[in-house]
Amino acid sequence: MCKIQNISDNPFARFSAEEEEDLRSIFLKPRYYDALKSNARQGNSRILVGQRGLGKSATIHMLFEDLKANGTLPLLITRYEGIPLSNNKGYFLYKIVQSMTKRLAEHLYRNQKDTKLLSKEQRGHLSYLVEMFYDEEIAEDYFKQAQVIKAKKRNNWFRRLFNRNLKLINGVVNGAIKITSSVVRQSMGLPESDDVTTNTAIFEEIPISEINSLSMKEVVDKGNDKLLAMLRLLVDIALKLNYESIVVLFDKIDEFAEINADINKVAEFTLQILTDTDLLYTNKLSIVFSLWSEVKRTLNNRGVRFDKFQDIDISWRDEELEHIIDKRLYYYSIDKRVPVTLRSLISFDNDRKTILSLAGGSPRSLISLMSRLYDEEMGNAAANGNVVSFSSATISTGLVEFCRRFDYESLQPSKVSDKNNYYNWLNKVLLMKKPYFTISEICSVFNIKATTARTYISQMEKLESITVQITGAMAEISNGVTGLNNGMQEVSAIGRENQESIDNVSSEINQFKVENKEEESAEAVAE
């Protein structure tokens, strides 16, 4: 079977951070990563912005692991079911409190002796919150811990508890016995229901035996002040357990099904939590949000203070992209003394330049492209034994297929709404049917008011950067093929066809200007 010499497995089989078996070994820190980590630990909230595929999730996951190893309690929130699209500050607070309760429970599963660090009142509060937020996820984590203990055959308090309460040897491993919240509290050394005394001003005298029956909405309806008070209690408990600070990491908001890839919905969804000064200025707690670049402008217009909630933009230079591939290849190299590199796989400088250009600054696109080349090389029936570098035929065919299959829509901003996407705005420009037009003419053609017309103009202006991006990318396809063999003529043809189409659109767009015949401020639709 054909394989790359000195490579143990396919280095390009996985495209996302969640799929990686050993993210740390292949992760390349983006610029400002160390500053981001330091700021988060010091209680300074940040927004991590970037396009899809630039490594936001990988950065968030790596940040989670690094913070965990440095005396910080990180919380990673990636699921948003049950949170409404607007007026949702309380629901975000609920998720934070729930996640923190879970993480502190995990800590005490592993370190039961640390329960002694907490006051009687704090143990009561935590017991109450474990019951409030007890769910299958907590039970599952507890069950996994039980399996670890059984496997190690430890004769300690935890094992004795399981043997006594859950009959671990006979049934728990098979999942046959229900793990109750009472047992979970016991395992952490927390008081039972009858022994819990807590702050009635926060919990409103709801008996602990009833608290687990409350839905998320019912808890949220108790008021944000109650949830903030719970959060501060948990922060104090975390500090007592010798954590230096707490960092809440939010990721994959754009993948929430209810948002449906709508920029305005992302902005609306995150607006309240990003403007919640009570939360943002909670002592020893910081927030890190991972968001699309395009959302920043909308959030800024709606009052998010980026001067206080500083954003960090993820971007990559070509030399950094090459380093990303080299780290990945080093990890999969059998002989680390002479690792495989991008330069050893792609021999010619022009070929590497073309490949890096086609990636468009995106690590995910670059890995996808390299995966295409790898598959082409491994599928070459004529190839026998080990491959030292990708052949000209492989590069030619692989680039052709990458260009054919590439989603060029990914170069444009995400949808503004279901009905107002890139193509709709392009059509609106073309419907004017003249190179210059006034706001009044826009109002007449679309039967809209002047204020709405200005919104139209704002959206039309975005077409400029989109077409420039696409034009530049396609130019790289056409110009970069000179170092390839004759098979790359097909790539060049594809590039020319797409380039011609885009140039036609660009030339049309570039003609359109807005004139100010009514003494309104002139606004250009596209430069």
Q: Which two tokens stand for residue 228?
A: 């903030």
- Mean pLDDT on 338-343: 95
- DSSP reduced 3-state for 111: coil
DSSP characters for 11-34?
TTS--SGGG-S-HHHH--PPTTHH
Opening angle at CA 330, ends 6 and 386, nearest 5? 20
485 pLDDT above the threshold of 50: no
Predicted local confidence at residue 367, as pLDDT: 93
Predicted local confidence at residue 409, as pLDDT: 59
44 pLDDT above the threshold of 80: yes
Predicted local confidence at residue 167, as pLDDT: 41
Strands (DSSP E) contained in 41-112 are 46-49, 72-77
- Mean pLDDT on 131-139: 68
Predicted local confidence at residue 154, as pLDDT: 47
Band of residue 356 on the pLDDT scale cut at 50, 70, 90? very high
* Cα dihedral sign, 355-360-361-363: negative
The helix (H) or strand (E) run that includes residue 470 is helix 450-479
Predicted local confidence at residue 503, as pLDDT: 52
Residue bearing tokens 């929130």: 77
Please write the tens of the pLDDT for every residue from 49-94: 888 788 899 999 999 999 998 889 999 999 999 999 999 999 999 9
Predicted local confidence at residue 193, as pLDDT: 53
User: What is the C-alpha separation between 273 and 278, in angstroms, rounded?
Assistant: 10
Predicted local confidence at residue 379, as pLDDT: 81
Please write the tens of the pLDDT for every residue from 206-262: 666 677 778 899 889 988 988 999 999 999 999 999 999 999 999 988 888 888 777
Predicted local confidence at residue 145, as pLDDT: 58
Residue in 284, 116, 97 with CA at minimum distance from that of residue 202? 97
497 pLDDT above the threshold of 60: no
DSSP characters for 194-229?
GG----HHHHTT--HHHHTT--HHHHHTT-HHHHHH
- Mean pLDDT on 264-282: 86
Q: Which two tokens stand for residue 16?
A: 């996302």
User: What is the C-alpha separation between 444 and 436, in angstroms, rounded?
Assistant: 14
Kindly give, in sequence order, each residue whose CB lies less than 8 Å from that of residue 165, ignoring residues fewer than 6 positions away.
Answer: 183, 186
Predicted local confidence at residue 483, as pLDDT: 41
pTM for this model (two decimals): 0.73
Kindly give, in sequence order, each residue whose CB lies less than 8 Å from that of residue 233, ignoring residues fewer than 6 positions away.
Answer: 122, 125, 129, 199, 202
Backbone angles phi, psi at 142, to 5 degrees: -65, -40
387 pLDDT above the threshold of 90: no
Q: What percent of the chain has pLDDT over 70?
A: 67
465 pLDDT above the threshold of 80: no
Predicted local confidence at residue 458, as pLDDT: 74
Predicted local confidence at residue 157, as pLDDT: 44
Lowest-confidence region among 73-87, 401-415, 464-478: 464-478
Termini Cα distance of the chain: 54
DSSP 71: T
- DSSP reduced 3-state for 524: coil
Q: Which long-range contacts (CB under 8 A, 24 or more apart) does 298-303 make?
A: 298/263, 298/264, 298/266, 298/267, 299/267, 299/270, 299/271, 299/274, 302/267, 302/271, 303/271, 303/275
Please write the tens of the pLDDT for every residue from 115-132: 899 988 888 888 888 888
Predicted local confidence at residue 339, as pLDDT: 94
- Mean pLDDT on 12-20: 77
Predicted local confidence at residue 201, as pLDDT: 62
- Mean pLDDT on 409-429: 58
Mean pLDDT, the chain, integer: 76
Predicted local confidence at residue 311, as pLDDT: 83
Query: Of 182 and 30, which is predicted with more confidence?
Result: 30
Predicted local confidence at residue 16, as pLDDT: 74
Please write the tens of the pLDDT for every residue from 303-312: 887 777 778 8
Band of residue 473 on the pLDDT scale cut at 50, 70, 90? very low
The helix (H) or strand (E) run that includes residue 436 is strand 436-438
User: What is the C-alpha separation between 137 and 379, in angstroms, rounded?
Assistant: 43
Predicted local confidence at residue 198, as pLDDT: 56
Predicted local confidence at residue 84, as pLDDT: 95
Please write the tens of the pLDDT for every residue from 143-196: 565 555 555 544 454 444 444 444 433 333 333 344 556 666 666 667 665 555
Lowest-confidence region among 221-225, 280-284, 370-374: 280-284
Q: Which two tokens stand for residue 98?
A: 């729930």
Q: What percent of the chain has pLDDT over 90?
A: 28
